[in-house]
């Protein structure tokens, strides 16, 4: 089955769907919804089939294809996946049909038609698949920048209907931050091309060829920074995060789910896919800085989340703390921590995606993001409150739910190399419990129910279908994460070994060794 061009098919289906839906008449909103749901569901099925065909034990990229695109500049249409990128493509293709169903009515509230909303979603899905599948650095950059366009319009045209000025501000801020990071990356991409022309005799953007180069350590630092700042903004990592709470708060519910659930993972994916393999000396040099920023982000994001009244901003700030854990795992350079970091990307997409869905359902019912507008909702909407509790407990990494395994792997893997940082980061879990449970307490529990909330309806059938697969995966991956770990770990181990990092050998104290006795 490896002869099937899975990745090209996965790119073509949503891209063609975006064009088809965009060409529908404005009055064909219902048809646009149904067609988009069918296209995104088919894309997810194709991603599942590709995962079944994937062989975790095989080294290198699978489903690889490469065709010359711009011969004069060494640019190719080159795609392929390893275990790291495959699980993120699975996450993206799962969340998009969930978002389509969740946005069934919300898509009609924007300045443009419902068809335009769903065409933007399909275009965004194409970009997300492409950015994880690209094995040509220039092609990666094209997808990296192309994703900005549909996300910008989703925020600016379909965001909070009552806050037009704030919505426009958030969309422009998101775009400007991302473009600034993209320009820095473009400069580094051009630098890589120049270096490859000097070393290889011909300029190239092929990832495999670039990995074989021995770049001067001083030059590596500058190229590393160009990529790193772009990825740190996209993730975002502290202190490049200030666009996230505005964009998360003003996005439509579906847009917020994809923004924090998938698009932000492009940043952390870029760290482990490009920064570490292409610039190993610079990665070692900047590791203390990255680890320090990661730990600060864990605490800073948690403390800001605790003080928020706007529920969407609160959930956005929790992501800053979670991305601190992911960055910590990426730069601990152990297979446990790296595997945990990639698994954390998937689990964060599920748990935070579900949190945004539940918050979106609440806001759609009450028209307010203010925590104080709620209270005692569990008495009125018990099913919604139950789903909210599962999402909250997953976010704080309760044992038995999906995030626990990934957070545990990150901390254990980090502890073997950086004990003090692992211990400090572990205390961040306490803060996570505070901000998540405090949010649940203020909205769902309490003896009093506001008059405005007494007639609020519980989850509809459509909303139950929306949350069911996400809840099932949160519980299922908490109990049995092995299938994903088996896919991720070989690729992580190979990535670190290629740059000279291996897991520390265990030390065993032999009885009597220090006293001269017999053992």
**462 in a domain, yes or no?**
yes
**108 in a domain, yes or no?**
no
**509 in a domain, yes or no?**
no
**HSE-CB of 161 using CA atoms within 13 angstroms:** 12
Cis peptide bond upstream of 350, omega within 30 = no
**423 in a domain, yes or no?**
yes
Report which of 380, 399, 393 is spatially closest to residue 440, judged by C-alpha positions.
393
Residue with token string 């965009």: 22
DSSP 7-66: HHHHHHHHHHHHHHHHHS-TT-HHHHHHHHHHHHHHHHHHHHHHHHH--TTS-S-EEEEE
What is the Cα–Cα distance from 503 to 59, expressed in whole angstroms?
19
Q: Are the C-beta atoms of residues 63 and 5 closer than 8 Å to each other?
A: yes
**159 in a domain, yes or no?**
no
Tell me the Ramachandran region of residue 74: left when phi exceeds 0, alpha when psi lies from -120 to 50, beta otherwise.
Answer: left
What is the Cα–Cα distance from 119 to 135, expressed in whole angstroms?
26
Q: What is the domain count for the chain?
A: 1
**4 in a domain, yes or no?**
no
Domain of residue 346 covers: 279-501
**318 in a domain, yes or no?**
yes
Predicted confidence pLDDT, tens digits, the chain (519 residues): 467 899 999 999 999 999 999 998 888 888 989 999 999 999 999 999 999 999 987 878 999 999 988 888 888 999 999 999 999 999 999 999 999 999 887 765 655 677 888 999 999 999 999 999 999 999 999 999 999 999 999 888 887 767 777 888 888 898 999 999 999 999 999 999 999 888 888 888 999 889 888 888 899 999 999 999 999 998 888 888 888 888 888 888 888 899 988 988 999 999 999 999 999 999 999 999 999 999 999 988 888 888 888 888 888 888 888 888 999 999 999 999 999 999 999 999 999 999 999 998 888 888 788 888 887 888 888 899 999 999 999 988 889 999 999 999 999 999 988 888 889 988 888 888 888 888 888 888 876 666 677 778 888 899 899 999 999 999 999 999 999 999 999 999 999 988 887 777 655 454 554 444 443
Helix segments in 370-450, DSSP class H: 377-380, 382-395, 402-415, 419-444
What is the Cα–Cα distance from 272 to 290, expressed in whole angstroms?
13
DSSP 8-class letter at 455: T
> Which two tokens mark 81?
């996946």
Q: Pairing state of beta strands 62-70 and 75-81?
A: antiparallel
**474 in a domain, yes or no?**
yes
């Amino acid at each position: 089955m490896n002869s099937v061009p899975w990745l090209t098919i996965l790119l073509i289906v949503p891209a063609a769907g975006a064009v088809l839906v965009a060409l529908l008449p404005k009055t064909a909103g219902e048809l646009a919804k149904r067609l988009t749901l069918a296209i995104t569901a088919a894309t997810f099925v194709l991603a599942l089939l590709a995962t079944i065909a994937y062989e975790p034990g095989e080294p290198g990229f699978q489903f690889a294809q490469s065709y010359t695109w711009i011969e004069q500049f060494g640019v190719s249409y080159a795609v392929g996946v390893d275990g790291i990128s495959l699980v993120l493509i699975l996450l993206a293709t799962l969340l998009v049909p969930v978002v389509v169903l969740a946005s069934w009515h919300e898509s009609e509230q924007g300045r443009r038609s419902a068809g335009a909303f769903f065409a933007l979603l399909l275009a965004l899905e194409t970009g997300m698949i492409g950015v994880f599948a690209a094995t040509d650095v220039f092609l990666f950059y094209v997808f990296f920048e192309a994703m900005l366009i549909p996300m910008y319009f989703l925020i600016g045209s379909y965001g909070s209907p009552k806050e037009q000025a704030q919505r426009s501000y958030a969309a422009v801020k998101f775009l400007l931050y991302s473009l600034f990071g993209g320009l820095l990356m473009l400069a580094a991409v051009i630098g890589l091309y120049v270096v490859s022309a000097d070393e290889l005799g011909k300029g190239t953007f092929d990832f495999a060829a670039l990995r074989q180069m021995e770049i001067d350590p001083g030059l590596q630092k500058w190229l590393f920074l160009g990529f790193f700042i772009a990825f740190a903004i996209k993730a975002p990592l502290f202190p490049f995060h200030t666009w996230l709470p505005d964009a998360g708060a003003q996005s439509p519910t579906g847009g917020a789910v994809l923004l924090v659930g998938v698009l932000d993972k492009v940043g952390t994916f870029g760290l482990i896919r490009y920064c570490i393999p292409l610039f190993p000396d610079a990665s070692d040099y900047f590791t203390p800085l990255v680890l320090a920023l990661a730990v600060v982000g864990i605490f800073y994001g948690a403390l800001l989340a605790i003080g928020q009244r706007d529920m969407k901003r609160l959930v956005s700030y929790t992501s800053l703390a979670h991305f601190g854990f992911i960055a910590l795992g990426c730069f601990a350079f152990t297979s446990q921590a790296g595997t945990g970091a990639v698994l954390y990307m998937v689990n964060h997409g599920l748990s935070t995606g579900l949190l945004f869905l539940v918050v979106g359902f609440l806001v759609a019912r009450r028209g307010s993001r203010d925590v104080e507008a709620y209270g005692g909702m569990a008495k009125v909407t018990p099913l919604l409150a139950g789903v909210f509790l599962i999402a909250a407990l997953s976010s704080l990494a309760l044992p038995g739910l999906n995030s626990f395994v990934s957070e545990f792997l990150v901390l254990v893997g980090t502890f073997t190399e950086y004990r003090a940082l692992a211990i400090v980061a572990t205390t961040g879990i306490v803060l996570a419990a505070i901000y998540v449970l405090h949010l649940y307490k203020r909205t769902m529990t309490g003896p009093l129910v506001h008059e405005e909330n007494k007639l609020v309806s519980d989850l509809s059938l459509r909303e139950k279908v929306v949350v069911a697969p996400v809840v099932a995966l949160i519980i299922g991956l908490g109990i049995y994460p092995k299938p994903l770990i088996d896919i991720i770990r070989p690729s992580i181990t190979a990535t670190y070994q290629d740059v000279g990092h291996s897991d520390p050998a265990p030390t065993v104290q032999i009885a009597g060794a220090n006293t001269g006795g017999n053992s």
